[in-house]
Amino acid sequence: MKLLHVDSAITGAHSVSRQLTQAIVAEWKAAKPATTVEYLDLAVNAPGHLDGQVLSGGFKDEVSERLVSQFLAADVIVVGAPLYNFSIPGQLKAWIDRLSQAGRTFRYTEKGPEGLARGKTVIVASSRGGFYSNSEMGRALEHQESYLQAVFGFFGITDVRFVRAEGVNMGPEVKAKAISDAQASIKPTLAANQAQSKQAA
């Protein structure tokens, strides 16, 4: 089994999402020691945003090919996704734009688009400075988890799970509880994923 570990936070050692992705990967490896892990730090090696040359060239450039091939080779993808200005970091969006290739991760059919990356498990470590899941206004402002659920679903991935730390900028006590609660949710989240991923092992 191959696991792709992706971080995107720009805050380095202070990042909550990075702390959670490390814990997720460690827990997965503890349960499945034979898993091989490949690491991608989008804050350090950010892919360039799409331009006319890449688009008109059919994503045949070296960066696009490397990223989509790496993604398609993985059975499990762990993504660190902090909420920045109600959405995901620009470097994470640039990565997704490079993956969104007709004929590779999806295709158009007479019945509409069809995802081609089926059978994978995606685990998102979601971190948020405020609270967005417990109110109608918060949910309306949130374009982070909802976007990732939609785009990975468009790729044909139905097993998308979230480990969430919310309110991490609301004071030390709230932050500590948010991280503790998120860490406590990792094991049951992975247990469900691993049960669904046995055939990929």
17 among annotated binding-site residues: yes
130 among annotated binding-site residues: yes
164 among annotated binding-site residues: no
8 among annotated binding-site residues: no
| Sequence-separated (6 or more) residues with CB below 8 Å from residue 29 | 3, 35, 37
128 among annotated binding-site residues: yes
Q: In what order do the strands lie in the sheet with 36-41?
A: 36-41, 2-7, 76-82, 121-128, 159-166
127 among annotated binding-site residues: yes
Phi, psi for 15 (deg, rounded to 5): -75, 130
Whether residue 198 contacts residue 36, with contact meaning beta carbons closer than 8 Å, is answered with no
Whether residue 144 contacts residue 138, with contact meaning beta carbons closer than 8 Å, is answered with no
Residue positions forming the annotated binding site for FMN: 15-17, 127-130
Residue positions forming the annotated binding site: 15-17, 127-130
